[in-house]
Chains A and B, each alone.
Chain A
Amino acid sequence: MVLKVEGLWKSFKTEQVLKDVGFSLQTGEILAIIGRSGSGKTTLLRCINNLVKCDRGSIMVDGIYLCRQVTDANGTKCVYAKGPEQLQIRKRLGMVFQSFNLFPHMSVLENIIEAPVRVFRVPRPEAEEKARRLLAMLELQDKEAAYPFELSGGQKQRVAIARACALNPLVMCLDEPTSALDPELREGIAQTIENLAAQGMGVLLITHDMVFAKRVAHRVIFMEEGEILAEGSKEEFFADINNERIKSFIAG
């Protein structure tokens, strides 16, 4: 088990966005979290990546707690890992944002090697070699000197994936990977995701695109209003839907 989330709660002001969310992800597994827009999927991903702090619950990545629930005389609270541990977790987590967030002032290659070289002190030639291997795998070998503004949406996305892969993460998180793509590019990103999983990464995929989830996921979680309503292997999930709300979502 490479990622485990338990009893996660998060609210923004008065709005309860995550309610007791828990699941786990195995090595090599593709888990799709599906649900309507506004159901809390992105917030969940942001909690896992420590971009927002959760109110309660625990998140464990490869045996290291990012945060855990602690109960003492003063009540229950959520305690976060210290800096060095957080950096260890960073290395194990890759994140591909919905809008990619590439660094516009850096070339494709620089985007990929910046963190390994600056943060994790990987020797530059080694980082470049790794980056070129990733670019070749993602069919971007002729783009290493290009700048993000010169790339198509699909190419930007693959650079973002390469950047997130540069530190050999164990978990890859992707937020709505099909939302910014032309329909004909969906099969390509599906194969890329399968490729990552085949290399042993756990893939956490967030989408409101049922067809895509059905195409690529091994397991599916359905979220609504911050709660997990159903969970199962893809086959179980799509064969045996007895929840009216999920049915209506799938029916579109």
Chain B
Amino acid sequence: MLDYLITLMPAMLSGLEVTLKIFFLTLVFSIPLGILVAVGRLSKIKPLVAVIQVYIWIMRGTPLLLQLIFIYFGLGLPTVGLQLERFTAALIAFVLNYAAYFAEIFRGGIESIDKGQYEAAKVLGFSPVQTFMRIVLPQVVKIVLPSVANEVITLVKDTALVYVVGLGELLRAGRIASNRDVSLVPFVVVGVFYLALTAILTKVFQQIEKRYAYYQ
């Protein structure tokens, strides 16, 4: 049994690598983008607000799987002619989708900041950018942390969807091994990997929440 598990590992680990790449790159791009989108959504620039509303509606109103298919296969059709690489297409779909969810989370957080905070910053001479970066955003981070943690855990599992564009992530590695060996064991291994990832992330977020517990 142990021998069998060891023979599975190379394929599993290379699948894990793809999963982790999609996961981290999505986070790195979608969180800042989500914050920018949230700020744009709360701006007074009407056309921008309208565009963002449509964007969020599409991203939240259609399945991520469909968005993946659209960006990889749809844009690749001869009539459009924008054939992206598998990994690039998957990353773009994930970043656009997750930025929309993060934007809604951050919008709620920003809206919950008392307007007295903006006024205090203004009378002290802070520029709007300083006010946002030094006064508003640090408080928003604390407020949105639980929702962001949820979203991040969901992202770990959503990475399995990239199989549809033919990327060899963790779940796909499991399925190939399972079909080949006519065994459920590879799927059990895949499950254990996901559980380990989500356990680590839960711990990480607990630590971050603790770090933000110094004030109320």
Specify which chain A residues have a CB less than 8 angstroms from the CB of B112 in the assembled complex: none
Decide yes or no whether B86 CB sits under 8 A from chain A.
no
Residue in chain B with minimal CB distance to A90: B125
Cα A51 to Cα B214 in complex, Å, equals 31
Residue in chain A with minimal CB distance to B212: A105
Interface range on chain B (Cβ under 8 Å from partner): 20 to 34
Known: A101-B114, A101-B116. A115 touches B215 (CB 8 A): no
Q: Is the CB of B125 within 8 A of A104?
A: no
Q: Is the CB of A105 within 8 A of B142?
A: yes
Residue in chain B with minimal CB distance to A87: B125
Q: Is the CB of B119 within 8 A of A115?
A: no
Specify which chain A residues have a CB less than 8 angstroms from the CB of B73 in the assembled complex: none
Task: Please count how many residues in chain A sit with their CB below 8 Å of the partner chain's CB atoms.
Answer: 26
Q: Contact string, B99-118, partner A, CB cutoff 8 A, digits 1/0?
A: 00000000000000010110
Q: Is the CB of B117 within 8 A of A149?
A: no
Specify which chain A residues have a CB less than 8 angstroms from the CB of B125 in the assembled complex: 87, 90-91, 115, 119-120, 167
Cα A147 to Cα B213 in complex, Å, equals 12
Q: Contact string, B203-216, partner A, CB cutoff 8 A, digits 1/0?
A: 00000000000111
Decide yes or no whether B122 CB sits under 8 A from chain A.
yes
Q: Which of A51, A105, A118 has its CB near the most chain B CB atoms (within 10 A)? A: A105
The 7 lowest CB-CB distance pairs between A and B, nearest first, are A115-B124, A101-B120, A101-B116, A119-B125, A90-B125, A149-B216, A95-B123
Given A104-B139, A118-B130, A167-B124; 13 other pairs, CB 8 A cutoff: A50-B122, A50-B123, A87-B125, A90-B125, A101-B114, A101-B119, A103-B117, A103-B135, A104-B216, A105-B139, A119-B126, A147-B214, A164-B123
